């Protein structure tokens, strides 16, 4: 973990030359980064992440024994910042950018590297200050939450729970849909919010969605059924979640 102004890192890439050159660039241009180790595949990477608990991982996409996303899927939440270092085309990289995943194109541009490292370090500082693993602003046992802290790629935002319509899975992130129509991309998987919000009038109705019960205006029967929220948005209820959903209502 980070200490003083130093941030620990792992480089994960199956190409020896890429690992060495990136390590050299970091030592020369990003002196606050301390490279703890390197890995050439996701099996080795998972072992080193668990053992060393880095602040940042520099991650190639395609590697032996699975790709970068196979590695990230092994974590219920990401306890580190991810900077993809990829030879993918600009069009493919744009897809990552939609999920606010940091990326650097190969061959590595020094200015781009410095910029992405600085953004990752800033996010770590915010996360540390506002409890990196406990994102709930109010945590008194048995008390319904009124606010949550939403960790964003560039900081955080405090949101009233009443202003949340529903949450939607988005790869390793969660898209939070607000009553105002605004959307926030939170740096947490949906499972995190299921664990922490379902005692506060929120219910997971599908593997991809959690809804605010207070905003349910209609339910249509079906195999699983469908809910309509106060915004008019309709969402499917999975058969496996139907019973838990209906238990929220007495009619």
Query: Tell me: the pLDDT tens digits for 89-142?
Result: 665 655 555 444 678 888 999 999 999 999 888 877 766 544 433 443 344 334
Confidence check: pLDDT of 71 > 70: yes
Q: What is the pLDDT of residues 1-60, one digit of tens each?
A: 555 579 999 999 999 999 999 999 999 999 999 999 999 999 999 999 999 999 999 999
Q: What is the pLDDT of residues 184-228, one digit of tens each?
A: 998 888 888 887 776 668 999 999 999 999 999 999 998 999 999
Consecutive H or E run containing 156: strand 155-160
- Per the model's pLDDT, the better-predicted residue between 57 and 62 turns out to be 57
Contact at 8 Å (CB) between 49 and 91? no
Q: How many CA atoms lie within 13 A of 134 on its CB side?
A: 6
147-246, which class in CATH? Answer: mainly beta
Within 73-132, residue ranges assigned H as helices are: 90-98, 110-129
Q: What is the pLDDT of residues 139-174, one digit of tens each?
A: 433 446 677 878 777 777 888 889 999 999 988 789
**Domain extent listing, the chain:** 7-129, 147-246
Angle at 191 between CA 195 and CA 209, to 5 degrees: 105
CA proximity to 224, closest of 249, 243, 199, 208: 243
The residues near 28 (Cβ < 8 Å, ≥ 6 apart) are none
In 3-state terms the chain splits into helix, strand, coil percentages (rounded to 5) of 30, 30, 35
Helix, coil or strand: residue 85: strand
7-129, which class in CATH? Answer: alpha beta
């Amino acid at each position: 973990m980070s200490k003083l102004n130093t941030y620990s890192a792992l480089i994960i890439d199956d190409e020896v030359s890429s690992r060495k050159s990136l390590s050299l660039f970091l030592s020369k241009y990003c002196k606050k980064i301390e490279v703890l180790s390197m890995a050439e595949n996701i099996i080795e990477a998972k072992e080193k992440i668990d053992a060393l608990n880095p602040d940042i991982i520099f991650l190639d996409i395609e590697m032996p024994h699975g790709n970068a996303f196979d590695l990230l899927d092994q974590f219920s939440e990401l306890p580190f910042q991810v900077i993809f270092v990829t030879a993918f085309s600009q069009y493919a990289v744009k897809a990552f950018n939609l999920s606010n995943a940091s990326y650097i194109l190969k061959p590595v541009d020094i200015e781009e590297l410095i910029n992405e490292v600085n953004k990752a370090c800033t996010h770590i500082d915010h996360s540390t200050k506002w409890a990196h693993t406990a994102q709930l602003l109010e945590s008194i046992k048995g008390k319904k939450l009124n606010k949550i802290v939403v960790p964003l790629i560039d900081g955080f935002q405090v949101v009233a729970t009443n202003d949340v319509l529903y949450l939607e899975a988005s790869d390793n992130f969660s898209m939070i849909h607000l009553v105002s129509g605004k959307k926030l991309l939170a740096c947490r998987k949906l499972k995190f919010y299921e664990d922490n919000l379902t005692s506060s009038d929120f219910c997971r109705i599908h593997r991809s969605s959690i809804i605010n019960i207070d905003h349910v205006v209609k339910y249509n029967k079906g195999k699983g059924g469908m809910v309509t929220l106060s915004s008019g948005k309709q969402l499917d209820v999975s058969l496996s979640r139907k019973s838990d959903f209906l238990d929220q209502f007495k009619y």
